[in-house]
Amino acid sequence: MVKLELDQVGLRRMKEDDIEMVKALIKEGCEGAENRIILHILTRPRCLFFLAVFSSILRCLVHSFILALAIPVFLLTVFLKITMPRSTGVLGSSLPYWDYIGSSYRGTQDETLQNPYCRISGKVQVKKKPRCRVGSKDEDVSAEKVTPDRERAAGQVWVADCEGEIVGCVFRESEKRAGVRRICRLVTGSWYRREGLGRLLVQSLEQKERESGARRVYAHVPYPSKVGEAFFRKLGYQQLGERTDEEDDEEEMNLETPERGFLGYPLTKVFYKDV
């Protein structure tokens, strides 16, 4: 565990040079999540019944009880491994993380989120000069022609930068509905967890979206993730469908549905917060 000074963390939009670092960070953060979801699906009653039927049929073809049990589980696990990344890479999005990062809008050097810890400590956040890239300036400008429509259609990736090292990131889905934003992935580096970095990323993004006119923020969490569920509940989020006294709850559930996998089992839980 490395002690992180939150007032020295810069929150800015992902740039072209950050893509590989963000990919590595997301890959590290996804380790174990996919296996937990697969185990969750394999232990559901309907799935166990499906495996039992398949195993009984296979028992007539192979003269081994162990193989008749192991083969269906193996084949189903391989199938889930192949199809799962489209849901677990970026939760709530149909794109895996490598596609989502590539299609997301990369911001300029000045696009930042406010860090409230800087105001509390009285320290001024130091802005580093952008790193030089190989190639002419004309090539860089022509490669990044972003219209307002293009920016709204693209997702956003915001990174936490501490002394040139990306220690965390948060993914915000494209603006598909007016006044509604969606957080589809939050990752902090393994050395900087339980230091308040995730809370800083989410709350700073919430403040920006509130100022831009958003009324509600959604967050998609892996279904078996108790840690992720507890984290968002502490930040004031509620699981969609828990409250029966809200008039728009049923309508929102139809619009903001969780990702579903094999046999229709949910892969994510949807949480929301009115900002």
Report the run of H or E that residue 81 belongs to, with start and end: helix 65-83
pLDDT digits (tens, 9 = 90+) for 52-68: 999 999 888 888 888 88
- Token pair 């970095």 is found at 197
Q: Compute the average pLDDT of residues 93-103.
A: 73
CB 103 within 8 A of CB 155: yes
Packed helices 33-42 and 65-83: angle between N→C axes, nearest 10 degrees:
130
- pLDDT confidence of 225, banded at 50, 70, 90? confident
More confident residue, 239 or 136: 239
Looking at residue 145, its pLDDT comes to 63
| Number of neighbours of residue 3 by Cβ within 10 angstroms | 7
pLDDT digits (tens, 9 = 90+) for 235-247: 999 988 776 555 5
Distance in angstroms (rounded) separating the CA atoms of residues 58 and 90: 36
- Residue 268: beta bridge partners? 222
Pick from 28, 7, 3: nearest CA to 169? 28
Domain map (residue ranges) of the chain:
10-124+147-244+258-274
pLDDT digits (tens, 9 = 90+) for 29-47: 777 777 888 888 888 898 9
Q: In angstroms, what is the C-alpha Rg of the chain?
A: 21
Looking at residue 257, its pLDDT comes to 76
* Model confidence, pTM: 0.78
DSSP state of 266: B
Nearest 5°: phi and psi at 188? -120, 150
Report the run of H or E that residue 220 belongs to, with start and end: strand 216-222
Domain 10-124+147-244+258-274 in CATH 3.30.70.270? The answer is no
| Number of neighbours of residue 57 by Cβ within 10 angstroms | 11
More confident residue, 234 or 139: 234
Distance in angstroms (rounded) separating the CA atoms of residues 265 and 275: 30
| Number of neighbours of residue 150 by Cβ within 10 angstroms | 10
CA angle, 89 then 100 then 195, to 5°: 60
